[in-house]
Chains A and B, each alone.
Chain A
């Protein structure tokens, strides 16, 4: 398992709050149920979408194939030094 603890917890908690916490706090009114339904569906869709993306990258089977100039560019701008030699 290549998952980091913090991001999983954070995003699950975030969408959990939207999908469970907010529906509980929805004010009473004619549209209460509709708002709850909207919030829960939003949370479910967004969380699952994030999760799928996270899990698809969790244990990569292939690595990105980079062009030479891209490698050089990444080395310069993403703070990954290309060692001499």
Chain B
């Protein structure tokens, strides 16, 4: 058997490596990716291993690289990804790498720190600038107000109220309850702190603080001030329109300038406390307009200076990052390789003389040559003189399962592995799945148009394979589609074929060869009858449409479904039974390969008999019915006499006497059918006890014999061969614990019951082929009549416009529902048919996958982990 039909033969090998050459050799093996190392010190914890320091250093390097990567991404600098994979550097190069990364990291951190300090400075200055600018307005207003106050006192109560209203536009006003406001209005200016004093002009020295606060904190801040100071402060605020950058995390924040007027030291401390509590920054703000102007000038010049310095810092940072971005991916690969090598070295044992490392590994037998070559290369590179030694070891352990796949078979193997990794050297269903999977899918999805859309999509992905594979995305759905591109393509192609057989293209039929039904009506008949049924006797040409369904059925609106159901149900059962028989035959390959004679004779043969005698017989009945019964025949083989296969089958299994046939018809299709059926059922029933008891009984007997003569090797072989699936290499060893006899009986009975009941339910389960295919065809037809035909019925130029819109809608629904959703559902049903109905006949799936030490896989996983 060639590749993929069974997993590779594996060997457990012992590998002796010179300490100096170990690193280089492991690096070569990592490039090769064909060796799975076993942990030889599983009880030693990770911190006590030999190369733990090196691993830690690599971790540290990786951390630094990740930091660099983060910074690079923050600045949006493109990272050069050549896709090439540099060789793992020599151990001594590690120091250089470390030094480089250390330098880069320090430099970057310093730059970042400086930039942050500068930015904070910048922020403070901008805030101050805004304060000076905004407070100017406040002070101006206040000056006006004072004037107004004076006027108000002269003008009397009404004017005063107006003045109050003007000054209290701020939100403070909103916080005073209505009563308070009306009270305030009646009491005049007394309400506001500084105004109270304004009556005594000589004492009027209001203190104030100015600052900046986050805008969303402002309302709470204002309320707090009002309550804590019992309304004896006055707050004015103004928004800073442009958002400011927060130096710590680079976010844009909105802030507001505020200025608080109050009186007295007690209030001052209180206000300052509240400001502190709300994280408001206070800035000195001189009272005199001239000072303020001077300060503003100073601030402006300092801001300009800072801007130049900041720009230079940013430039420097950019330069450093651009330089790092060129090499970053390369460095990542290198560091990950070093780390992987030391990780692997940690799995090794140290020889007593401390001069050589001992490793144990699983290798595929076919690749031992390549591995030895790689080891020799590694030795040469390290300059060591002693060649490494690769020894095969005897083992009783189950080797890992390794299926060598290529880009085409990989996806199909993944479908199988998703159910369970094959036991070692078990028949692998993947090569058969390559065809049966798309085919069964297509039986459900059969439509030339929809199949063509799917096939074209698959073909496009296959053609653009390289480009699409290079642009890695973490879009999971896309990755699934892309990974299954060959499956999608084949599913599409097979759907096109089944679509042609069903004669369905977007729910319409093609009439290529000309219908084989004739009409011989005259006009009056057509006019008189609403429905006309063609007679299978006179209007049928005698031979069917050569390829696929006759197009006349597509237009036969009223009994098309009846005809299709009969046909599709039959093909579902026919293909289902053949698929299951195929599965049982696969188990024959397993039994012969593992020299499991007991299972071959007492399991495989009765299983096959059971399936053939009952279900394959039913399939034969279908063919007989197709051949023997025709409308053109005389009774008892005319259309009126055709028996129902299902009823016949049920009667057969239950030993019922069939219902008497209509006049001139016969109950049975052929001579001696009753006898044949009874015989078949009895034989099939007879198979059940054989499946149930024969194998455990024989094992029991063999064990008794073995107990009498404990040396008998031959019988123990047969015995353990029956119980376990140990292959010719590893099977039947002393490591296997003998199963309890009762357990064997229980297992066997479960297995038998599962098989017998399963073959009934599995056969019925294949009817999903009919159901899904019917649903698909109906849905396509509904979409045509309900959507597209509306557009087709419009007339004139306006009809063209409507048709365009309707077509767009129809196309979207076709792709979205019929191709995508129906496709997905058909896919899942096909998957189930393979996993349950097919594989349950032969597949154990109890192995574990071969996970070779491979740099490619490690680097791929590493980058995926980072992107998450």
Contacts and interface: CB of A to CB of B under 8 A. Distances in A.
A52 B471 CA distance: 46
A25 interface: no
Contacts of B33: none
A53 B501 contact: yes
A82 B528 CA distance: 14
22 contacts: A1-B627, A11-B546, A34-B5, A37-B434, A38-B435, A46-B497, A49-B497, A56-B570, A59-B629, A62-B533, A62-B562, A62-B631, A64-B552, A64-B559, A66-B531, A67-B531, A68-B531, A70-B555, A75-B521, A83-B521, A84-B522, A85-B523
B574 interface: yes
A75 B519 contact: yes
Interface in A60-85: 60-68, 70-75, 78-80, 82-85
Given A37-B432, A78-B515, A83-B523, A65 B3 contact: no
Interface residues of B, number: 77
What 10 pairs between A and B have smallest CB-CB spacing? A59-B630, A64-B556, A33-B2, A7-B546, A4-B543, A63-B534, A57-B544, A41-B435, A61-B639, A65-B533
B526 A59 contact: no
B533 A63 contact: yes
B631 A59 contact: yes
A82 B421 CA distance: 65
Nearest to B550: A57
Contact of B567 (A37, A53, A63): A53
Contacts of B435: 37-38, 41-42, 45
Interface string B823-852: 000000000000000000000000000000
B3 A30 contact: yes
A49 B431 contact: no
A59 B632 contact: yes
Contact of A78 (B497, B514, B536, B559): B514
Contacts of B477: none
A52 B517 contact: no
Interface of B: 1-5, 409, 431-432, 434-436, 439, 443, 497-498, 501-502, 511, 514-524, 526-527, 529-536, 539-540, 542-550, 552-553, 555-560, 562-563, 566-567, 570-571, 574-575, 578, 623, 626-627, 629-633, 639, 642
Given A67-B530, A67-B531, A61 B630 contact: yes
Interface string A27-58: 00011111001100110011011101111111
A15 B282 CA distance: 89
A45 B498 CA distance: 10
A55 B562 CA distance: 17
B2 A11 contact: no
A24 interface: no
Contacts of A57: 516, 544-545, 549-550
A15 B1 CA distance: 25
A56 B519 contact: no
B556 A55 contact: no
B83 to A, nearest CB: 26
A3 interface: yes
A83 B557 CA distance: 23
A60 B540 contact: yes
